Structure 1
């Protein structure tokens, strides 16, 4: 058996012109090279014009003091707990907007009558918001393709839930006021929302969340629809503005139910 020399013409790779006067690399199986076009480029000082006015992906829960959208990434690959000391109206807006992101919403409540109209109207006939008695939420089977948000509307002293936060399953606990169980829930939550409370409650919340005095005192004067959202390292006042559809379903923003 004879072996051709590597220097022989038969073993040399073919080289063809690219149309620019320079030899080009062979393109095997990709057809002809198309026309040349200038690359899309943007000066560095103009890049900011392409920025989106949001800080995360998720659902818009309102606008900040500068009128920019405040976005909450509620569908997460890790367990996520939220405690909201506030009104039913805000919790229901959050449930609707969570469903709009594609999440299934399970509401654990002792006042199903307050949620029935919302559950029936959401999802265009699809059961994207389901209602369950307190302590009766079944396993939800959350996954990346089917995230779940559990809203616990169980009064001042919600019992320990059978369904807890898990990957792709966030839990939102609604407390109408600062109850004896609130400090425990706030300390284990990744996010805490506080709406208008009494001055005494505001002072206690300020100590728990380590708030500046000015923000602590402001909690007793917040307008309807305004929430102070707090994490371990950040705080932001947010005004929740309802859409026309949300207003038609839930009415105007209100702190008291």
Structure 2
């Protein structure tokens, strides 16, 4: 299972995707790479402003004790920040790793868009396989100001997407209750995200194959279906039915998490109010 940081609470090459080693155009003026909204980020996750070092003499290789004390080391946690838990602690998910990764999201389009938007901010290239391509039309251009960061495919296709630690790949499958009929062969820094807008027995295989499962609020029948496939406790089944529209449950890793996504002003404006 994937680790999650934060305190616990209970064969064809695809056009438009730049391969590693190819020259890449400069980042555009899209939302992700444009204005930053530091005021909307949790205080603990805002970039720290380091104080200037004490002057050093040219030729010296040592640093004074005073200068050393002025060095601040950021936290060791890394990953995609989904939101905050009930203690206001940022919750980060290792969405991209140096090994194949499979995730499932039981929820709606709103949560899927927020997740992809934040993955783009980490430098990811995204391929969306969907039966409703109009829902994702223009997403990449809006988010990044470029046309080579997001590719939208109608239905499932065989594609090849290069991935590195600094430019990982996210393959999102929003293709119905069954998930992907032919799951892709993944490599390092490649992640498959299966979106199930409703959980039924047809969706059990991708859920069981996931390293981590994200859930919006579930209907009673969905919660009990999740319990049967994930061996959930009665308490978890109850909590999954009580989540607010702007919340997610993260099941897997060292412990389950329940978090608020805390959408930014940009996300609210583009995707609308949180909903299932």
Which TM-score band applies after superposition, normalised by the shorter structure?
Answer: 0.7 to 0.9
Instruction: List aligned pairs for 1:89-108, cutoff 5 A.
Output: 89-108=110-129
Cα distance in 1 for partners of 2:105, 2:62 equals: 58
Give yes or no for contact 2:84–2:259 (8 Å, CA) kept in 1: yes
Match of 2:164 in 1: 143
C-alpha distance in 1 between matches for 2:218 and 2:134: 25
Q: Report the equivalent of 2:84.
A: 63
Give the match for residue 38 of structure 1: 65
Change (3 A) 1:51 1:111: same
Q: Distance in 1 between matches of 2:67 and 2:267?
A: 41
Question: 1:178 pairs with 187, 190, 199, which one?
Answer: 199
State the partner residue of 1:223.
244
Residue of structure 2 equivalent to 1:156: 177
- How many residues are matched? 218
Within the alignment, does 1:190 sit opposite 2:211 as a pair?
A: yes
Larger Rg: 1
Q: Residue 144 of structure 2: which of 123, 139, 142 is its match? A: 123
- Tell me how far 1:91 sits from its aligned partner: 0.8
TM-score with structure 1 setting the length: 0.76
Gapped runs of 5+ residues in structure 2? Answer: 1-57
Task: State the match for 1:80 in structure 2.
Answer: 101
- Higher relative contact order (Cα pairs below 8 Å, separated by 6+ residues): 2
TM-score (norm 2): 0.71
Instruction: For structure 1, list consecutive stretches of 5 or more residues without a partner in the other structure.
Output: 1-30, 43-48
Indicate the SS of the match to 2:160.
coil
Residue 201 of structure 2 aligns to a residue whose secondary structure is: coil
1:7-18 → structure 2 map (5 Å cutoff)? none
Query: Are residues 204 and 35 of structure 1, via their aligned partners in 2, closer, same or farther at CA, if it must alter by over 3 Å?
Result: closer
Query: What is the 5 A alignment of 1:236-251?
Result: 236-251=257-272
- Superimposed CA distance per residue, residues 201-236 of structure 1 (whole angstroms, 9 cap, x where no aligned partner): 212212322322122112122110211111154200
* Residues 82, 191 of structure 1: 8 Å contact kept: yes
Root-mean-square deviation (Å): 2.5
Matched, 1:113 2:134: yes
